[in-house]
Structure 1
Amino acid sequence: MKVGFLVCILFVMCGCCMGRFVVEKNSLRVTSPDSIKEVYECAIGNFGVPQYGGTLVGNVMYPKSNKKSCNNFSDFDIFYKSKPGGRPVFLLVDRGDCFFTLKAWNAQQAGAGAILVADNRVEPLITMDTPEEEDAKADYLQDITIPSALISKSLGDSIKRELSKGELVNINLDWREALPHPDDRVEYEFWTNSNDECGPKCESQREFVKNFKGAAQILEQKGYTQFSPHYITWYCPEAFILSKQCKSQCINHGRYCAPDPEQDFSKGYDGKDVVLQNLRQACFFKVANDSGKPWLWWDYVTDFAIRCPMKEKKYTKGCADQVIKSLGFDVKQIEKCVGDPEADTDNPVLKVEQDIQIGKGARGDVTILPTLVINNRQYRGKLDKGAVLKAICSGFEETTEPAICLTEEIETNECLESNGGCWQDEAANITACQDTFRGRVCECPVVQGVKFVGDGYTHCEPSGALRCEINNGGCWKGTQNSRAYSACIDDHTKGCKCPPGFKGDGVNSCEDIDECKEKLACQCAECKCKNTWGSYDCSCSANLLYMHEHDTCISKDAKSEFSWGLVWTIILGLAVAGVSAYAVYKYRIRRYMDSEIRAIMAQYMPLGQGEGATNVPHGNV
């Protein structure tokens, strides 16, 4: 066992001796007293539940006894639970003598809302982690829920000094920018392991995968996230490649290794069995991702953990193949990806895994299992569905987070109380309050394609061509006696105007105009006026008929006689015109004929010769 353990240490050293561990931080703002009022950095603990995307405000208390929080405070009859209406207590304790997790658990049991651990030496901030496997047997580890932070020795000393003077120290822990949120999609990696015999960490990891599966698949299927699983492997030092330990813990001639699950080479499964199952899971994801269904990885690893546990001796290729087939995938595709574990060559999948294990940019090397990396930042805190979902949701830009981020289990809806102080139209059930993961935003909404404009706090008005479709454009509208009138003008203009027949501001009211009383209609002597809602009716007495166009009354009979007389007049007129035209025509024809006859006769009977003259034709002599 000792040799096996030594080889495991060598694996870690060879894989990570040039590594870089990044301490993830968030802001700590001291708001009072003025003497230390400033923004400081603190390191997020790798346990408990950091409030990613949110803030927490509290008052600091420093215990007079049990200053390192290594004992239960109930033994000292001291409790730090805040009273109703009071701020949470941030318990300040000193580093040393016991595990960070025990300090946090004792503080939580005493009622503290958060724990601040003051460093006992001047050094860069470190990440407070859970104990190593042999010390991680305590039942309370998974029950720690309060956030924790390590602060510098100088800040701790300053806070203690102010508290000793009787000053009230207020602190705001701010996790809103602990994770970047560059766009409307969150990219996250889960560095995991198929080994289920590594104690409490493996158990919590298995439980997390089972509980988080539903949320992860919803986010992935709807395109809100881009998820990828990864697996840590180490290489065996060249001098030990032919050793029994390397042969039992590595594949591909010492290139890809994992520690023996039981740390005992004489029983159970070997490290190379773990490497092969890790590779099989990575290949399943690759095939599922190529088929457009990457979210099925969650089904595979969940089913494999249930159906193929090490304790029942089912951690085998045969059991894995059954799970693969049950999910509708071709085992041959997976085996092609896995390749030959005995080959003295690189495995393409595991080679990539080793390369990306090295940190780049703001992300450090992945050295701890399990590890979650969200938007290229390593998640710190309890591996719990609610805590992880809260962290992922903090990676979205404000107002772009999916609905699952606004569920009651991880977020409080500020719009439910007094509408968040934003504008709303209760009648139309329209509000400018938008609940986001980081808090409410007062922003005029878009409803059924109609955009509301305004400041979002005191007013919002619909705009555009369809604005009258939404709450009648915020204008007055009335219905009476099956008649409906609206003050909304259905075009691109804004504002409201009472329709004809009404008067008012067009927004709050439009009152009917009494056209009869105000002498606006039915002015003729015989007219009778009756006001109606939005209009009027005119009638005439006796046998008279009202003509609306002329606002006058005429006799029904006169109208009839007049009509027939007009017809006969037209007929007689047409007849006279026809006869006259014919007479003129005859007269002109007769005149024309007479003139033609006279012209012909003039050629043979010349006029103007003397009496007794004879008509002798002229001839040639």
Structure 2
Amino acid sequence: MREAEFGLAICVLLLLMCESTLGRFVVEKNNLRVTSPQHLKDTYECAIGNFGVPQYGGTLAGAVLYPESNQKACKSFTDDVSFNFKSGAGLPVFLLVDRGDCYFTLKAWNAQKAGAAAILVADDRPEPLITMDTPEEGHARSDYLQNISIPSALISQSLGEAIKKALNKPDMVKVNLDWREALPHPDDRVEYEFWTNSNDECGPKCDSQKQFLKDFKGVAQILEKKGYTQFTPHYITWYCPEAFILSKQCKSQCINNGRYCAPDPDEDFGRGYEGKDVVVQNLRQACFYKVANETGKPWIWWDYVTDFAIRCPMKEEKYTKECAEDVIASLGVDVKKIRECVGDTEADVENEVLKGEQKAQIGKGARGDVTILPTLIINNRQYRGKLDKGTVLKAICSGFEETTEPVICLRDGIETNECMENNGGCWIDKASNITACRDTFRGRVCQCPIVQGVKFFGDGYKHCEASGVLRCGLNNGGCWKDSQQGRTYSACIDNRTKGCKCPPGFKGDGIKTCEDIDECEEKTACQCPDCKCKNTWGSYECRCGGDLLYITEHDICISKNARPRVGWGFVWLIILGMTVAGGVAYAFYKYRIRTYMDSEIRAIMAQYMPLDNQAEVAAQGSNRNV
């Protein structure tokens, strides 16, 4: 390619880049807490470096050391005998270095090789904090960039000077880097965006991006399928200034009459694939996500981009529409819908998908503009650090509200389970291994649990008590329970109340002890005559002599044929009463018979001879007739 063409191409790219980089850039921060010496104790802001491995959701404590030489860390410390990485306190070493003379990444790499756990870069001017970034492509060796694994932070010039003065006394300066609030964590779902590119010819950066997509695919799909996350891929495009629309450079790098552009993959306009090829494939990937999302399976985007990278690489000259559509068809997505979404890339019209992508590049709220690739946005905050599966997963996990994290966020290697040591200082029932300690990504919380539908109430630290229906089915509600002599008694009542009460026949606190009450000794049972009392565990037995049975409810003895036991005197009394009653009844009967017989005899005799009263009646009748 002629030098004139190359120079013009670079000018066009610079113009395109300037349009984007004039936007708002937000510095992502975390906290640095100085714990000693006393006069420096406070919490300070620091800026997260855009490389290395920030401990999102966690903290890291260490002791600060400032080297006697090589204080800008622009060369290796291996030959620097004046520098000693032993903190003297058994803490990890935080290396404090000065800004200037070399790239931030080189400082971090030299510190890491010397054994530092983190690097603090003190600014060399009084200004607002900035983001320490990686070098531009081609301006520095990039072979070590992906190997930086320690976290980094830029601190203000004033804080750097204060720490140096304290170290000169000498005081031990202990600090704690805290990333727990570096990302918002408002609820039980994390929303994140990944700004990427289909170009695979941009060197180590593209290689690391392809590797990340391959490594992170499984995790991303699990989180998305179960509704823990909402993922959206995005693609950066630039537009060609109107003055250059007809130039060869814009025609080879842009589609739709200069509206959407991407740099030439190999920066050679005379061979290989062109920038417009990248724009079209980016558009196709964005359309694939759109169609897959409409069918309820947005996670298969990860399958498409990883399969495309494997099956359609630029190096093998397979970076084509035909290869892309073969991959789409193999995943069961309607190719026709993808074509309709891509539209006519030669027409002088706007493409709705790419138009939306350009609009999304503009920052909103706490998020700055997206100007570089790749970029990860988590809960509307830009992720800083190495594009690595484990590191990115930690960042996503830190975006969940406490206690709502999926299990994948709580496994070994992702976070430290603080409940494993002394139960996190929370309440625990050792008998049933029920604990109030709940592990979260940012630490532990002491919260009375819900176990098998039973809710525990309390402060979570010293006390938790089960309450509600079914509570007795879970560790007997924390109450006393024992079995003896074939019987089982419990101090727990299975209802909506809480607390423990010894059952009838026992006395005690109901929690640890319930002792048997001797009803026989306390004279509270078997009070009937001739009853014999025997104490049993939790109850008592009463027995009556002979063939009698004891009735507990009435405290009496009755015969087995259900007739009550009575004395002979009472029997004779009944017999006497019945005899007297029979005599009286007989006398009355005799009297009635005698009276009846008399009246019958008088009636018969009256028929044959007049009686005295009848003569008188007849005489009176004669006188009335005179």
* TM-score clears 0.5: yes
| 1:357 counterpart = 2:365 | no
Q: 1:385 to 1:335 in 2, by over 3 A?
A: same
Helix, strand or coil at the partner of 1:133: coil
Match of 2:475 among 468, 471, 477: 471
> What is the deviation of 1:280?
0.5
Q: Is the 8 A contact 2:216 2:389 kept in 1?
A: yes
Of 273-282 and 28-37, the range deviating more from structure 2: 28-37
| 1:453 counterpart = 2:461 | no
Match of 2:281 in 1: 277
Match of 2:98 in 1: 94
CA distance in 1, matches of 2:225, 2:623: 129
Match of 1:56 among 36, 55, 60: 60
Q: Is the 8 A contact 2:67 2:83 kept in 1?
A: no
> What is the deviation of 1:271?
0.5
Helix, strand or coil at the partner of 1:314: coil
| 1:325 counterpart = 2:333 | no
| 1:611 counterpart = 2:616 | no
Report the residue type matching 2:425 in the other structure: G
Q: 1:317 to 1:229 in 2, by over 3 A?
A: same
> 1:185-334 residue pairs with structure 2 within 5 A?
185-334=189-338
CA distance in 2, matches of 1:179, 1:556: 83
CA distance in 2, matches of 1:426, 1:553: 50
Helix, strand or coil at the partner of 2:78: helix
Report the residue type matching 1:324 in the other structure: I
Match of 2:145 among 141, 146, 149: 141
Q: 1:383-405: per-residue Cα shift (whole Å, max 9, x none)?
A: 11111111112222222222222
Report the residue type matching 2:619 in the other structure: E
Match of 1:600 in 2: none
Match of 1:32 among 32, 36, 45: 36
CA distance in 2, matches of 1:31, 1:192: 40
Helix, strand or coil at the partner of 1:284: helix
Helix, strand or coil at the partner of 1:73: coil
Q: 1:607 to 1:224 in 2, by over 3 A?
A: farther
Q: 1:452 to 1:85 in 2, by over 3 A?
A: farther
CA distance in 1, matches of 2:220, 2:82: 42
Match of 1:434 in 2: 438
Q: 1:173-213: per-residue Cα shift (whole Å, max 9, x none)?
A: 22122112233222111111011111111111111111111
Of 75-84 and 491-500, the range deviating more from structure 2: 75-84
Q: 1:473-502: per-residue Cα shift (whole Å, max 9, x none)?
A: 111011224322110122333221110111
Q: Is the 8 A contact 1:108 1:146 kept in 2?
A: yes
Q: 1:566-601: per-residue Cα shift (whole Å, max 9, x none)?
A: 9x99xx99xx9xx99xx9xx99xx9xxx9xxxxxxx
CA distance in 2, matches of 1:187, 1:560: 84
Q: 1:61 to 1:617 in 2, by over 3 A?
A: farther
Q: 1:519 to 1:423 in 2, by over 3 A?
A: same
Match of 2:523 in 1: 519
CA distance in 1, matches of 2:553, 2:369: 90
Match of 1:420 in 2: 424
Report the residue type matching 2:437 in the other structure: C
In structure 2, runs of 5+ residues without a counterpart are 1-5, 601-613
Q: Is the 8 A contact 1:374 1:395 kept in 2?
A: yes
Q: 1:543 to 1:208 in 2, by over 3 A?
A: same
Of 64-73 and 118-127, the range deviating more from structure 2: 118-127
> What is the deviation of 1:36?
3.3
| 1:160 counterpart = 2:164 | yes
Match of 2:134 in 1: 130
> What is the deviation of 1:357?
0.6
CA distance in 2, matches of 1:336, 1:561: 104
Report the residue type matching 2:127 in the other structure: E
CA distance in 2, matches of 1:35, 1:556: 93
Report the residue type matching 2:9 in the other structure: G
> What is the deviation of 1:412?
0.3
Match of 2:72 in 1: 68
CA distance in 1, matches of 2:251, 2:7: 17
Report the residue type matching 1:173 in the other structure: L
Of 347-356 and 208-217, the range deviating more from structure 2: 208-217
Helix, strand or coil at the partner of 2:158: helix
Helix, strand or coil at the partner of 1:27: strand
CA distance in 2, matches of 1:85, 1:489: 55
Q: 1:8 to 1:80 in 2, by over 3 A?
A: farther
CA distance in 2, matches of 1:103, 1:525: 101
Q: 1:160 to 1:83 in 2, by over 3 A?
A: closer
CA distance in 2, matches of 1:37, 1:549: 76
Match of 2:406 in 1: 402
Q: 1:94 to 1:541 in 2, by over 3 A?
A: same
| 1:3 counterpart = 2:8 | yes
CA distance in 2, matches of 1:79, 1:438: 34
CA distance in 1, matches of 2:32, 2:350: 46
Match of 2:20 among 15, 21, 28: 15
Match of 2:371 among 362, 367, 371: 367
| 1:181 counterpart = 2:185 | yes
Q: 1:33-79: per-residue Cα shift (whole Å, max 9, x none)?
A: 33333332211100011111222222111000111111211122466
Q: Is the 8 A contact 2:558 2:564 kept in 1?
A: no
> What is the deviation of 1:137?
4.2
CA distance in 2, matches of 1:84, 1:479: 59
Q: 1:545 to 1:30 in 2, by over 3 A?
A: closer
Q: 1:219 to 1:610 in 2, by over 3 A?
A: same
CA distance in 1, matches of 2:44, 2:565: 103
CA distance in 2, matches of 1:244, 1:375: 40
CA distance in 2, matches of 1:530, 1:4: 109
CA distance in 2, matches of 1:439, 1:503: 44
Of 159-168 and 439-448, the range deviating more from structure 2: 159-168
Helix, strand or coil at the partner of 1:334: helix
CA distance in 2, matches of 1:37, 1:463: 45
CA distance in 2, matches of 1:607, 1:92: 160
Report the residue type matching 1:611 in the other structure: A
CA distance in 1, matches of 2:550, 2:39: 91
Report the residue type matching 2:8 in the other structure: V
Helix, strand or coil at the partner of 1:74: coil
> What is the deviation of 1:528?
3.4
CA distance in 1, matches of 2:625, 2:335: 139
Q: 1:132-183: per-residue Cα shift (whole Å, max 9, x none)?
A: 1114543221111111011222222222122122122222222122112233
CA distance in 1, matches of 2:269, 2:350: 25
> What is the deviation of 1:545?
3.3
CA distance in 1, matches of 2:497, 2:295: 51
CA distance in 2, matches of 1:373, 1:607: 143
Q: 1:237 to 1:492 in 2, by over 3 A?
A: same
Q: 1:498-523: per-residue Cα shift (whole Å, max 9, x none)?
A: 10111111100111223334433334
| 1:110 counterpart = 2:114 | yes
Work out the percentage of aligned pairs sharing the same amino acid.
71
In structure 1, runs of 5+ residues without a counterpart are 595-605
Helix, strand or coil at the partner of 1:6: helix
Report the residue type matching 2:34 in the other structure: V
Q: Is the 8 A contact 2:68 2:83 kept in 1?
A: no
CA distance in 2, matches of 1:468, 1:557: 42
- The TM-score, its normalising length taken from structure 2, stands at 0.88
> What is the deviation of 1:4?
2.8
> What is the deviation of 1:435?
0.6
Report the residue type matching 1:11 in the other structure: L
> What is the deviation of 1:104?
0.4
Q: Is the 8 A contact 2:73 2:107 kept in 1?
A: yes
> What is the deviation of 1:561?
9.7
